[in-house]
Structure 1
């Protein structure tokens, strides 16, 4: 039973609803400052997991090549287009009266939190662990942060934030049910490299949230697919040659 995934999705929906309903009561300065804090939290989570890295060349190679693949196939633009569809669909039923954000700022922020909620190393790893061992603690911990993050972003974006729970559930359920095939093939080193790779995405997401640098976080997602095979290849074939 994917309890952790259900809790995580509900936290986004509840946070999105609360933020959309009461967001107008919060001052712009409060929302801006708290968003900066969430950005720093994302950076801190990224830095902490990057520290688990065991095979640096494999992780760096995966991040660089994975991002190159994402840019080549215009993954970020496709996700951006999907976010636009989500916004238009929900806009037919729920109007977002917030006019503080320009269209570009709105879409940029929406893509940022889609990656934050759906493609973080913590969420992907937590889904795999949940499916393999039934341990939902990682996803439940993520849900606490997602609840408040969704509420704050919904203050500016409106109810569309709730819709992010849909792609998140789809992605996490695929990983959950595939875990029985994936997890037995992994090693502790591969898991740590996987977390470290996700940490780079979390760090880049933090930079986007504080509007310091607009990293192509959506285009970096293929790195999460490459890292485990690359870590395995490095340890079993490359490392014996260079050592």
Structure 2
């Protein structure tokens, strides 16, 4: 089943988040230090992913076009509203961190990256779910730690994770007939790099160094595919 790996990934995120909710009552100074540790780790992951690029011009153009589209659509506000609305259906009390922040932050960390794309492609094309199951184990532990500081919103990130990876897995059952393998590999490399920049931005925000509107940069994940295709034509 093409969606098996995606389902396992989602279940492990839920389990990790539920365990994390058990530790939300720890003292504030512990939360602050844990959040700083997460921020530093996220920045390292982002740098590693960003440096994977082989064509930095594609990364730059993707971020530029993505930023313009994101600002036109005002995605940051829409995503925060979506997170708050979804959260209001499950909880009525506020926490130190808003539900929307947990939803958006966790979604970006879990969705963006090579393992999401490659794992979903493996599930759809070869029926091999090992990558997504491995990713699920990692996501579960990250969800546990994130939930202790960002709260309930983290568990809601399972929705975009399942939709994103599930869609890729289903499309992958037909994608080999449309796109050559060499193109896919190159696009995944640049997609990973763009995702790394966004992950790095998350780290800066978590450490309260900056206040980057990451939601408004998300279209870069889509525009990178079009820009890479145009680049290959020339």
Of the three residues 220, 225, 229, the one matched with 1:223 is 220
1:31 aligns with 2:31: yes
Aligned partner of 1:142 in structure 2 is 135
Superposed CA offset, 1:3-58 (max 9, x none): 3212221122111111112332x332332222222222222222112222112111
CA pair 37-182 structure 1, distance change in 2 beyond 3 A = farther
Distance 2:206 2:126 in 1: 33
Of the three residues 189, 194, 199, the one matched with 2:196 is 199
Deviates more, 1:50-59 or 1:73-82: 50-59
Contact 2:104–2:157 (8 Å) recurs in 1: no
Q: How much does 1:215 deviate?
A: 1.7
Q: How much does 1:106 deviate?
A: 5.2
Q: How much does 1:130 deviate?
A: 2.8
Aligned partner of 1:16 in structure 2 is 17
Distance 2:80 2:207 in 1: 19
CA pair 50-118 structure 1, distance change in 2 beyond 3 A = closer
| TM-score, scaled relative to structure 2 | 0.85
Please state whether the residue corresponding to 1:188 is helix, strand or coil: helix
Aligned partner of 1:176 in structure 2 is 169
Residues 160-171 of structure 1: pairs in structure 2 closer than 5 A: 160-171=153-164
Unmatched 5+ residue regions in structure 2?
Answer: none
Superposed CA offset, 1:83-129 (max 9, x none): 011110011xxx54x64x26xx5543442223223344542443234
1:188 aligns with 2:185: yes
Deviates more, 1:174-183 or 1:48-57: 174-183
Distance 1:219 1:125 in 2: 25
Deviates more, 1:138-147 or 1:66-75: 138-147
Deviates more, 1:31-40 or 1:76-85: 31-40
CA pair 58-157 structure 1, distance change in 2 beyond 3 A = closer
